[in-house]
A and B are shown apart, each in its own frame.
Chain A
Amino acid sequence: DAGVIQSPRHEVTEMGQEVTLRCKPISGHNSLFWYRQTMMRGLELLIYFNNNVPIDDSGMPEDRFSAKMPNASFSTLKIQPSEPRDSAVYFCASSLRGRARNEQFFGPGTRLTVL
C-alpha cells in the first residue's frame, strides 16, 4: 500500500513568492495533519483536518499560511508571500481517527528553502 505522498520533496524559492505544498493521505484515513520541523522549534503541528474539515488551525503561524482539503485524498498548504523564516521541513501525516491505535503515518516531508 502507498504511504502518505508529498510533493515536491524539495522546493527552493525566493522571498515573496507563493509556495504550494501538496499531500495525498493514505486511502481510507479520515484525519490529516500538517507539521513543520525547524532546528529552533522542533516539530510543530500547524493544522489538522477531520473528514476534510479543518478542526484546529491554532498552530498556523500567520495569515500568510493557508491550508485546504478539497477532498479525502488531497490537501494543500500554501504560503503567500513566503519569507526566509519559513524555511523548514513540512510534513503531512494521516491517521484513522477513532481507531484505538491512533497512529499517525508521516509522509517523506518537503524541504522548503526561501532565499
Chain B
Amino acid sequence: AQTVTQSQPEMSVQEAETVTLSCTYDTSENNYYLFWYKQPPSRQMILVIRQEAYKQQNATENRFSVNFQKAAKSFSLKISDSQLGDTAMYFCAFFYSGGGADGLTFGKGTHLIIQP
C-alpha cells in the first residue's frame, strides 16, 4: 500500500514571498502520478499541478512548480509570488493504476496562510 506524508500541518508567509510545501511518499511501484490539490474554504478540491513519475522534468503551472525527486520519493510544491488567494489547504496525492486500485492516496494536508 502507498502512503503519503506531509510533515507541515501549517505554514504562514507574507504576500509575494515564495513558499515550499513538502511531501514524501512510499511506494514500490515505478510508474505512477503525483498531484497537488488545493482546497480553499469553499472546500472545493482544485487540481493545482500533476507530475508523471516517468518524466524527469519538473512540472510547472504559472506560479506553481514542483521539485520531484524520484529516488528520494519526494514531491514538493513551490509557490512563487504568493497571493492572498493562495490561502488554502494543500493536499499531496499519489495515484497508481494497477492491481485494480485506481483511487488517490492523500496526505493529511498543509494549511497555508498568506498574510497581507
| A contacts, CB < 8 Å to B | 31, 33, 35, 42-45, 48, 50, 55-56, 59, 89, 91, 93, 97, 100-106, 108-109, 111
The residues of B that contact A111 with a CB separation of less than 8 Å are 43
Known contacts A91-B45, A102-B33: A42-B102 contact under CB 8 Å: no
The residues of B that contact A105 with a CB separation of less than 8 Å are 47
**Main secondary structure on B side of the interface with A:** strand
Give the distance to chain A from B76, nearest Cβ to Cβ, in Å.
Answer: 19
Query: 29 pairs across A/B with beta carbons < 8 Å?
Result: A31-B102, A33-B102, A35-B103, A35-B104, A42-B109, A45-B104, A45-B105, A48-B102, A48-B103, A50-B102, A55-B102, A56-B100, A56-B103, A89-B43, A101-B50, A102-B33, A102-B95, A102-B97, A103-B35, A103-B47, A104-B95, A104-B104, A105-B47, A106-B37, A106-B44, A106-B45, A108-B42, A108-B44, A111-B43
The residues of B that contact A59 with a CB separation of less than 8 Å are 103
Is B101 an interface residue when CB atoms closer than 8 A count as contact?
A: yes
- Contacting pair B50 A43 (CB below 8 A): no
**Main secondary structure on A side of the interface with B:** strand
Known contacts A42-B108, A102-B97: A56-B102 contact under CB 8 Å: yes
The residues of A that contact B36 with a CB separation of less than 8 Å are none
Known contacts A102-B33, A103-B47, A106-B44: A97-B103 contact under CB 8 Å: no
